[in-house]
Amino acid sequence: MSSIRLRHLLGLLKTDEWSTAQQLAVQIGRSEKTVRTYIHELNGMLEGHGARIVSQPRCGYRLHVDDKDAFDAYLAKSALAGGSAPQSARERTDYLIVGMLYLMDYVKAQDLCNVFYISGSTLSSCLRAAEEIYAQYDLKLDRRPNHGMRVIGDETNMRRLIAERYVREQIYPAELGHDARTFLARLVRTARGLLAEYDLPLTEFSFESLMDYCVVARSRVLAGFTLKLENDDIPEVDGRVHEVAGRLLDAMDLTDALCGERVLSDERRYLELYLEGSRIASFGGRNGSNFVINERCDRLTVEILRLLTDECGINLLDNFDLRMQLNQHLAPMAIRLRYGIRAHNPLLGEIKRNYPLACQMAIIAGEVLRRHFGGEPIPEDELGYIAIILQLGLERGRLVKKHDVLIVSDLGRSSSALLRSRLEQCLGSHIGKIYLCDRFGLETYDFSKVDFVFTTFPIMVPVPKPVLQIGPFLDDVDAHRVEDMLRGDVTLDVVDAFVGPERFLTDVFATTREGVLEEMCRRICAHESVDEDFTELVFAREKVIQVSLGTGVALPHPYGIASDATFAYVAVLPCPVEWHNDSIRVAILVSMGRTDEGDDRRRVLNETLARFAFDAKAIGHLAQNPTYEMFRTLLGS
């Protein structure tokens, strides 16, 4: 039973005036029979607490207080639902948020004041806070003169609000029913058995979200709030999903509460869609040979991969495995986006930290998806899952530059040979030729043959190559130090090749996004071999793809291939410039070339710049010390 309805009814009853069942029914939005049931329940709760509800034929009902002190004490410690009455602003707001969702008719502000025993100004403050929460779920508090207020919006969003804001946080408002916790425990056991029986694996987070939804859906249906789905173009689901949804609905014991086959069908259909959409990140269940490509999803996948290939200069269209994984992901994702089913991504922070290029690519893909799914931004949790898939595609064909190195050791030929063997074993993919030298051969050695020098002792004479001292047996710590040094050289080689000091700008003084782009494009057109419409293509992309990382950096590109060779211009701005929804200090304009398409160094360029773009601290350092040497140091580290 809804505690706010009971408090509302109690607030409507006067001590000096009679109210008929018909009047009360209109005010709380229920039938006269229901009002009489509520009156009976209220009387039972008030018994022994100094008050009772009395009735009189042809007059109705009124509240009679026998012991005001006892009655006030009871109201102070009871919410008429077995819990404590809301005292703080946050408690009252939460009580309002949920309680208003379970009211079918309009309720007047004065009645709410009576329910909570608060002033009109206090109620207004709570309502403003509640409205902010409602707006996050596309819900609205509709106000009508002489009628009052009620929450309007989509039923699925109301259920989502209750599930995400309360049930997920282990908060069970009275509206969910006194047995919500025991029901949930029973349903969890049933659902795990069904998923195992029908071989429908879900991640733990997806499973918990499904259970939270079921708890809320049960309470909503029992309170008379049901779903109404349009029959047009509802996607088909796996047959196993259909069976599991039906048996879950049976376990929720809703059959007697539902009014008609249509309602039962819609609730089951949405539960099917919720279950199908929950198969978000298990990446199982459809990865076998039985997966059938959805033509619409495949067209969308190809559009995304084609854009990413043009944007990042990495050929993803030929990666069949990546294409299949995106297809499999987009099918349930389309259901989630269409029907308001949220995907929780617990690894989002780790994904951002470890895979910046894949995250940047996912943001670009999100712009395609946003246009396809109606213009709303794609949730960040969803983009995180797309980034995982893209990262798997990027793992193939990574560039690994091999370096020729010199080992300097005075421990004898056998020990030097052992150290060379360890280097080949641990870092063979990074190392080409390995030369040996002792202490006495350093002064006459031809260092032009090598890129790095690794020594087992401190070298006191000048050496024109990077030197790293390591132990004689190359333990794991030393191996990681050597690998970091080798990888860092690849990064700096690529930065020098595609950026260089001549493309590092510190004298762009424009104060608007348009001005910065025009100045950068003017210099590019003067010094690079680019298409005549290069500037127009840069501005065209800005209109279509608005990437805001929130770290103080902008990453403009031309829309498509618009230059012969790949290059990147970096502008460190003397003052912050507003750029879409961000305030930026660094603009990095990258153009992928058509003549160096097979150059795998472009992947390293994109990975390096993306890692830098996600590092707000590094961008701050560059803004304070705007030199190419600092830029190079930050990217190398």
SS3 per-residue string spanning 540-599:
HHHHHCCCCCCCCEECCCCCCCCECCCEEEEEEEEEEEEECCEEEEEEEEEECECCCCCC
Tell me which residue of 386, 247, 368, 256 sits closest to 307, measured CA to CA.
Answer: 368
Question: What is the chain's mean pLDDT, rounded?
Answer: 83
Strands 140-144 and 148-152, sheet pairing: antiparallel
Domain boundaries, the chain: 3-85, 161-277, 295-392, 403-484, 499-636
Strands 452-455 and 403-408, sheet pairing: parallel
CATH topology of domain 403-484: Rossmann fold (3.40.50)
Q: What is the CATH number of domain 161-277?
A: 1.10.1790
Average pLDDT over residues 102-125: 81
Q: What is the pLDDT of residue 489?
A: 57
Average pLDDT over residues 359-363: 88
Nearest-angstrom CA–CA distance, 91 and 85: 9
Name the residue with tokens 């470890």. 354
pLDDT at 82 over 60: no
| Alpha helices in 223-355, H assignment, sequence order | 239-251, 261-277, 295-312, 320-339, 348-354
Q: What is the pLDDT of residue 216?
A: 92
Q: What is the pLDDT of residue 181?
A: 85
Best CATH choice for the domain 499-636 from the list 1.20.1050.10, 3.40.640.10, 3.40.930.10, 3.40.50.720: 3.40.930.10
- Judged by DSSP in three states, 234 sits in coil
Nearest-angstrom CA–CA distance, 263 and 270: 11
Q: Which residues pair with 140 in a beta bridge?
A: 152
pLDDT at 206 over 90: no
Nearest-angstrom CA–CA distance, 616 and 552: 7
Sorted by sequence, the CB contacts under 8 Å of residue 333 that are 6+ apart come out as: 277, 280, 343, 382, 385
Average pLDDT over residues 173-190: 84
Nearest-angstrom CA–CA distance, 581 and 575: 16
Average pLDDT over residues 448-457: 90
pLDDT at 165 over 80: yes
3-85 matches 161-277 in fold: no
Nearest-angstrom CA–CA distance, 440 and 438: 6
% of the chain residues with pLDDT over 70: 88
Average pLDDT over residues 130-140: 93
Helices 21-28 and 3-12 sit at what angle, rounded to 10 degrees?
Answer: 130
3-state SS string for 346-398: CCHHHHHHHCHHHHHHHHHHHHHHHHHCCCCCCCHHHHHHHHHHHHHHHCCCC
- Of the segments 177-181, 277-281, 397-401, 523-527, which one has the largest average pLDDT value? 523-527
Summarised one tens digit per residue, pLDDT across range 519-541 is 999 999 999 999 999 999 999 88
Tell me which residue of 634, 633, 557 sits closest to 602, measured CA to CA.
Answer: 557
Average pLDDT over residues 594-605: 74
Give every strand in the sheet of 403-408, ordered side by side: 431-437, 403-408, 452-455, 467-469
Q: Provide DSSP, 165-223.
A: HTGGGT---GGG-TTHHHHHHHHHHHHHHHHHHTT----HHHHHHHHHHHHHHHHHHHT
Summarised one tens digit per residue, pLDDT across range 389-434 is 998 887 765 545 678 999 998 878 888 888 898 888 888 877 889 9
pLDDT at 568 over 60: yes
Average pLDDT over residues 483-506: 81
Average pLDDT over residues 370-398: 83
Nearest-angstrom CA–CA distance, 606 and 568: 10
CATH-assigned architecture of domain 295-392:
Orthogonal Bundle (1.10)
Question: pTM above 0.85?
Answer: no
Average pLDDT over residues 466-487: 82
Sorted by sequence, the CB contacts under 8 Å of residue 183 that are 6+ apart come out as: 177, 215, 218
3-state SS string for 397-461: CCCCCCEEEEEECCCCHHHHHHHHHHHHHHHCCCEEEEEEECHHHCCCCCHHHCCEEEECCCCCC
Cα dihedral 228→232→237→241 (10° resolution): 20
DSSP tag of 252: T
pLDDT at 498 over 60: yes
Helix (H) or strand (E) holding 470: none
Q: What is the pLDDT of residue 535?
A: 96
Q: What is the pLDDT of residue 426?
A: 83
Sorted by sequence, the CB contacts under 8 Å of residue 271 that are 6+ apart come out as: 214, 217, 245, 248, 249
Nearest-angstrom CA–CA distance, 369 and 378: 7
Best CATH choice for the domain 3-85 from the list 3.40.50.2000, 3.40.50.10540, 1.10.10.10, 3.40.367.20: 1.10.10.10
